[in-house]
Structure 1
């Protein structure tokens, strides 16, 4: 499941540099996460780094983008160029 940032975001700028996939960017009012790039850090870390550093706990699982760990792993492999053609 991709993550998303709620409107409780205080724009502290700590999450964006922690994302290994470049999925986090500044939105109009607060930071946002691109669900097409978010793997919840699967393939990079054991935990979602943005969640770990967020001081206000405003990063949650996105109910509109449900993915299993296997799907997140496949997305990671595709994004990193490691996916093999079937």
Structure 2
């Protein structure tokens, strides 16, 4: 039996000795989240991205046209690096 994370190939263990826990984000309850349209979304209503300011360390992101599909949740640092890359055209 594996430890439970997708990337880890080590046998099941009680501790985090393999470090695979660093690659995971805990499931976040977004039921009461307040969503806002991202400033990077299409102003004409086409490709719209919504973000929620639920926790300072996490950035939930979803498609405003299909919110029932759920959200992707990024660590704040990873999201900031992504936005910086978009701004630079990388």
TM above 0.5, yes or no, is no
Rg (Cα) greater in structure: 2
Structure showing greater relative contact order (alpha-carbon pairs closer than 8 Å, 6 or more residues apart): 1
